[in-house]
Amino acid sequence: MIAKTKESLITEGSDRGDQATSDAQRPPAASVSFAETALRLGGKSDEEVRRIGAIDRADDRVESLFQRQHQTSNSPIHRAVWGASVPVDEFIASAPPPLPRSERVMRDSLQIIEVHLYNRSLYDHQGKIQETVLHDLGRAGYWGLLVDQEYGGTGATFSQFATFLTTVAQYDPTIAGLASVHGCIGAVDPLQTFGSTEQKQRFLPALASGERLSAFALTEPCAGSDLTALRTIAVKDGPTYRVTGEKLFITNVAPGRTIGLVCLIDDKPAVLIVDLPDHESESFQLKNYGLHALKHAHNRGIIFKDCRVPVSNLLDPQDGDGLSIAYHGLNRGRVALCANSAGTMRLMLANMIPWSGFRKTYGQQIGTRELVLRRLGHLAGLIVACDALTRWTACLLDNGYRGEMECIIAKVFGSESLKEAAIELFMKSHGGRSFLHGHLFGDNVHEFLAPCIYEGEGEMLGMAFFKSLVKRHGREYFEPIGMALSRQGISKPNLANPAHLWALKGPLMNYGKWFFGRELHRAHYELPKMPQQLHEHACFAAAWLQNSALKISGIMRKFQLGLADRQCRMAEASSQVQLATVILCTSLYASGQSDDVVRDAADTICHELRRRLEGGLPTDRYFKRVTKLGEAVFEGRFPDIDDTPRAALLMPYLNQ
């Protein structure tokens, strides 16, 4: 489990109490949040303050589910930026040992997928994954991988599960995605983390067997990134709630399935576990719409009209609200998305290689041309970086970390890499054939782009990342300045005014001590023994992270209470920290790999990411390295793609 369950929270209450005075401990839910304070002092409306404050307090409640050493302020990235040194060991994946029972389920599941691929029976007449495929996978135990053994699952570690998704995605990305929907953001994770023992016994066995697949109903016509705009309500009526409202964009929804439903109960967000009826009725109707993405899965809306749900299906009314539950499960879904991207890009690479050998220009295979070799090499680098992020973040979750910022990096980099691979590398290499019916790109372009939106749009998540990164620093150094100004009625401070300076003397002195101490601080990190090129990348990234503290604090100092409106600046600063983290994680991961091609791929992608941070044009040295890597890929020496399905070449030459 990635967090403590409700039962363990009760037994560990004394431990939590001992930590109450720590700087890292979040304030109780009833207190005014840092975001609310800053927004109110910045002149925002009461409505905006209320809504953003609700999000901020939900974040605090999620933090309280984790032990102090695993909260955001003690996460690897937070410590790498604000701490005295970079905790290098915590950027190296150290996964728990795999469980043999789960390994058997994975082998059996892959065999089922292979058989259906061979028999061309994966999809029904609508192009959706066939029900028989879902049932066959259920018998193999596929849907119960993340369910504890006592409730009929196999209790796989999340590291096992995430790396397995990469393999599944090489065969069919939709089947991999459905496993994530079911086990990560569907009903499984909310039940296992927030459900009572009775609720687990009642729901989890059917979810583990696949008798009832699951989904998560959160988005509404007026509520997407702003989850405070929920309008679906549940009104208590004796032993049941009467649910009324509309939900949209629910992947894996169908009659007879089980969903986690976020709704308002007494004007507060809550989550109900809902066993959907087997048939539509006046109180429960599915809403169909045209959707370019997710074409192989059911993605529909639901309209509830006084639909009755037992009161006993309400999740964790004491320890968390619906927003807390929603945020908790999203991190697993973000890691799974990165894992899926790594597998999908392998599928692209496996189909680029034969085409590069088949297609000729001026009598030569395009696989010998520098531009195509660069594409092959760069794609290999993106794959290795996504592998590194998947293993690292999954390991953090297995080891008890919340991993909010780390999982955002995995999601953003994974989805942006998939988009780049699809458009800049895969499509351009295949030229006009990319748009033929039956081509992997032409038939799935929306599938490759949509992950940029799934589990949070990338730049929106970048701002969330930034806010998580600066929250403690702001609370410790900038909030006291704002409060002092508010008490004195000063709206625009002028440090040349002695009265203003005197009013701020305490908070400014406190910040000054931190600032000058950081100015004198030298970046500190201890790296393991690494190949020279990868060592250089790791040094660069570790130093960049350590030096980011002053840059970020400078942004906060410059914009002060207006920072909330500087979305572009926050997104850019966030992006830089994210890229530095990818470089560090990838170089450390590749150093532990014995395959020279994997190491070379990590080297090339780290070179490219460093260029993005430092600016400037690619060097001839880089072009030489990436094309040499492309030659190795073209020769079939990139690992783990030999068994990846390859599509038939479309419109081949006559008599060939």
User: What is the rounded average pLDDT for all residues in the chain?
Assistant: 90
How deeply is 558 buried, as exposed, middle or buried, from its count of CB atoms within 10 A (0-12, 13-18, 19+)?
A: exposed
Taking CA atoms, 414 is separated from 107, 166, 249, 473, in Å, by 25, 12, 21, 28
Which segment, 181-195, 335-349, 479-493, is predicted with the most confidence on average? 335-349
Q: How far is CA 134 from CA 279, 280, 456, in A?
A: 19, 21, 27
At 33 the pLDDT is 53
Mean pLDDT of 412-427: 98
481: CB partners within 8 A, 6+ apart: 504, 507, 508, 511
Closest C-alpha to 273, from 234, 312, 326 = 312
Residues found in the chain: 656
Whether the pLDDT of residue 29 is over 50: the answer is: no
Q: CA 125 to CA 133: how far, in whole Å?
A: 14
Give me 266's structure tokens: 């007494």
- The pLDDT tens digits for 561-603 are 788 889 999 999 999 999 999 999 999 999 999 999 999 999 9
- Which pLDDT value is given to residue 527? 97
Structure tokens at 243: 């649910």
Which residue, 129, 111, 213, is CA-closest to 175?
Answer: 129
**Number of CB atoms found within 10 A of residue 506's CB:** 12
Predicted pLDDT at 258:
97
> What pLDDT is attached to residue 562?
81
Per-residue CA distances from 334 to 69, 86, 652 (Å): 22, 24, 39
| pLDDT tens string 378-408 | 999 999 999 999 999 999 999 999 999 999 9
Amino acid in the structure at residue 253? V
Amino acid 13: pLDDT: 32
Mean pLDDT of 128-155: 97
Give me the amino acid identity at 503. A
Q: What element of type H or E holds 264?
A: strand 258-265
DSSP 118-153: HTT-SB-TTSSBPHHHHHHHHHHTGGGTTS-GGGTS
Higher-confidence residue of 355 and 653: namely: 355
In which band, very low, low, confident or very high, does the pLDDT at 32 lie, cut at 50, 70 and 90?
low
Residue among 198, 199, 174 nearest 188 (CA)? 199
Please give the angle made by the CA atoms of 230, 449 and 645, to the nearest 5 degrees: 125
Per-residue pLDDT of 64-101, as tens digits, reads 888 999 999 999 999 999 999 999 999 999 888 888 99
Distance CA 580, CA 606 (A): 9
3-class DSSP assignment, residue 234:
strand
> DSSP letters along 545-558, please?
HHHHHHHHHHHHHH
Structure tokens at 315: 């999740």
Is the distance from CB of 477 to CB of 511 less than 8 angstroms? yes
Please answer whether residues 308 and 284 qualify as being in contact, where contact means their C-beta atoms are separated by less than 8 angstroms. Answer: no
Indicate if the pLDDT at residue 656 is higher than 60. Answer: no
Q: Provide the token pair at 218.
A: 């959160």
pLDDT at position 316: 78
Nearest C-alpha neighbor of 3 from the set 53, 49, 72 = 72
Residue with tokens 């800053």: 38
pLDDT tens, position by position, 7-22: 333 223 333 333 333 3
Model pLDDT, residue 504? 87
Q: Is 498 exposed, middle or buried (0-12, 13-18, 19+ CB in 10 A)?
A: exposed
Structural domains in the chain, CATH included, are 26-64 (no CATH), 100-209 (1.10.540.10), 214-314 (2.40.110.10), 323-651 (1.20.140.10)
C-alpha distances (whole Å) from 267 to each of 56, 230, 239, 357, 446 are 17, 10, 19, 62, 37
**pLDDT given at position 139:** 97
The rounded distance, in Å, linking the Cα atoms of 30 and 305 is: 33
pLDDT at position 2? 36
**What secondary structure does DSSP assign to 188-246, as a single string?**
HHHHHHH--HHHHHHHHHHHHHTSS-EEEE--BTTBSS-GGG---EEEEETTEEEEEEE
- Termini Cα distance of the chain: 55
Q: How far apart are CA 571 and CA 552, in angstroms?
A: 12
Q: What is the pLDDT of residue 4?
A: 38
pLDDT value of residue 512: 94
Whole-number Å distance between alpha carbons of 403 and 397: 6
**Residue 44 — pLDDT band, cuts 50, 70, 90?**
low
Alpha-helix runs per DSSP H in 292-426: 322-358, 370-398, 404-420
**66 contacts 60 by C-beta, under 8 angstroms:** no
| pTM across the whole model | 0.92
Of 143-157, 473-487, 574-588, the least confident: 473-487
Confidence of residue 228 (pLDDT cuts 50, 70, 90): confident
Q: How many separate helices (H) and strands (E) can be counted in the chain?
A: 24, 9
The closest of 394, 476, 450 to 157, measured between CA atoms, is: 394
